[in-house]
Each structure stands twice: as C-alpha cells, then as structure tokens.
Amino acid sequence: MERVAQFEAVSRQQFYRDMSDNFSIADVESENVYRNVRMPKRATSGSAGYDFHIPFNLELSSGKSVRIPTGVRCRMLPGWVLQIFPRSSLGFKYRVQLDNTVGIIDSDYYNAVNEGHIIIKITNHSDVTLSLKAGDRFAQGIFVQYGITFDDETTDVRTGGFGSTDSQKVCVEKRDLPGDEFIWDYENSDPETVKVTLEYRGQDKKNENIFRFCFTGLQKGEAEVRLVHKKIGEELVDSEQKFRVIVNENREVTLL
C-alpha cells in the first residue's frame, strides 16, 4: 500500500478563529476543545476511509446545517486528492449529507492562508435531532490519485482556503499591533459573502509587528467585519477595527 499523506493539527490560533467564526465560543472554551482534536484514523487494516472525529459536543436539529472545524490539515504528495464523505452510519440513520456533496481537499490546500484547515459542513436531513459527542466519528476521507490533460499548463498557486480557486483576495496591512500573548478575533456579519484570515508578516526596520488582514471567498453582497484585539483568555478589548466589504456581480471589491 502506497503511503501518500500525513495528517497534522492546525495551530491553536487558527482553530480559535474558525471556531469563533462558526460557534462564537470563548477562547478558554476553544482551548479545551482544541485538546480534543484527534488525527483521522482507519478503523481496520482493510478500511479505505480515514475517520474524522468531531472535537466538541453537537446537537444538530432536523433540517439544520453546521460547519465543523476539525482542527486537522493534510500534507499529501502531488497528484493525490483527499475526498471527504459522511460516515455511512450517519447517512443511513440521519440522512446526513455534506453540503458540497463530496469534499475535495487538494494537495496545495495545505499551504493556504488558513493553514489548510479542513472544515466540513453537514446537514441533518432526518426528522430527529442528531447528537454527537466529542470524539465521535462523523465523516471519512479517502485518498484518490488523479491525472491531468496533455495540454495542461496551469501554474497558478493557491493562497486562499475553501473555494479560493474561484475567488479574489483583498488584504489590508496594519502595523504596530501586539503579538505573542495577544490575538485578533473577529465577528463576521455574513461569512458566506466574505471570509477573513490574519497573516503575520514579521517586523519592519522599526521592529513593529506587521499584520495583514485578508478577505477571501468573495461572493456578491455586503458584509461588515469587526476585528477585535484582545489578550488570550481575557475579555478585555484592547482595540477594534470595522471594515465594510462590498462585492458586485463581477466580484469586484470595494473595501470601506
């Protein structure tokens, strides 16, 4: 059997951002959830799928959807792709489906600005509430080899996260912000219109920290993003910024 990939955990800060984007969980609670992150594993030596474990308790009502940050990224050899499916048992019992039918994790997604964080969105199509406990298996990933056409000369490099191969990226640079024991958190009024990531760009000649806020996954519409600077584990707000992102039908971006 060919060995083609390695699962790894994303950083705590990336996990904080994606948890707060989807669940508004406080940093301390996210820290506890982060400890529950488990690497996907096969159940038996003959299994094709690597089971993904949910790192927190979840109650999903009938007809509802949820984006689940797994805390996992995947480094794989070129020429391979990781396909994500719901676990068979959840499909039979709860008609659970992935919202994009089959998740596609490309090899270059590992280098994306969100650290290649695998986030799985599911919908409960049954008539009863789906209950998952931290550590339960809810999805599975299968590695598949693929080919390309003879005339393929694609050289573009991915920078964004999910859907980034069909989106724009707008960045705003900010200097002299505290780092290390501080984090930036954000509230996004419409994550389906725009997604936010934070990149640390090092220090300038004055030893000032350089951060870059990047807006990706742009769709037509408007969104307000409130960026809050605070100390890890504390509610005290140090400063904040608000951005208004407007995207027209041609995905041209205005940042206010």
Domain ranges of the chain: 5-37+48-145, 167-255
pLDDT in tens, 60-104: 998 888 899 999 999 999 899 999 998 877 777 777 878 777 889
**Nearest-angstrom CA–CA distance, 91 and 14:** 30
What does pLDDT average to over the chain? 77
Interval 106-129 mean pLDDT: 88
The runs of H, that is alpha helices, within the chain are 12-23, 27-34, 88-94
Length of the chain: 256
For the domain spanning 167-255, the CATH number is: 2.60.40.2020
Do 5-37+48-145 and 167-255 share a fold?
no
For the domain spanning 5-37+48-145, the CATH number is: 2.70.40.10
pTM: 0.63
Q: How confident is the model at residue 165 (pLDDT cuts 50, 70, 90)?
A: very low
* Strands 237-247 and 221-231, sheet pairing: antiparallel
Interval 136-157 mean pLDDT: 86
